[in-house]
Amino acid sequence: MSELADGLERFRRLNREMRLQLLLNYAKKFPDLPPELEEARDAGLNKVEECQTPLFLWLGVDEDGAVTIHSFAPREAPTVRGFMGFLMEQLQGASVEEVEALPRDLLERMGLSEVLGPVRTRGLSAVLDRIRRDLSRAKSR
């Protein structure tokens, strides 16, 4: 997943303030939730409970083995939207193996753990764990 490596390097090269700005840029590009998932979101399905922000996540594997990922985070949560926007851009269409290879220390590699603080870092790390769990379930179907 060289695109992911490039994305990580882009974050790492930046100073603290610019990392946050790049994260906010991803938040601005955050895609809308597909209309067919809005009812599930409104019913509270697929909520990432470990995250303080009301974050919803749908992950699947299509018939060709490509990962599909959709998410919803409120506009009032630009950090979460930015991180999810980055992940969605990097993981959409990736293979199961590429997603499984996500480094456990992704936030550190992005230089975000030093910028966001321990509570947000724990919450966003929980998002990565959730992606791994959902992927495991999706590929066993």
Tokens 């906010």 belong to residue: 24
Enumerate domains of the chain plus CATH numbers: 2-139 (3.90.1010.10)
What count of other Cβ atoms lies within 10 Å of the Cβ of residue 109? 17
Least confident piece of the model among 1-5, 89-93, 113-117: 1-5
Band of residue 2 on the pLDDT scale cut at 50, 70, 90: low
- Distance between CA atoms of 88 and 81, rounded to whole angstroms? 10
The 10s digit of each residue's pLDDT in 96-132 is 988 988 888 899 888 888 888 888 888 899 999 999 9
Looking at the predicted structure, is the pLDDT value of residue 1 above 60?
no
Least confident piece of the model among 6-10, 19-23, 89-93: 6-10
- Distance between CA atoms of 59 and 67, rounded to whole angstroms? 7
Q: Across the chain, what does the average pLDDT equal?
A: 90
Per-state percent for the chain, helix, strand, coil, to nearest 5 = 60, 10, 30
Instruction: Indicate the residue type of 114.
Output: E
Band of residue 43 on the pLDDT scale cut at 50, 70, 90: very high
Write the DSSP string, 68-134. Answer: EEEEE--TT-HHHHHHHHHHHHHHTT-BHHHHHT--TTHHHHHT-HHHH-HHHHHHHHHHHHHHHHH
How confident is the model at residue 141, as a pLDDT? 67
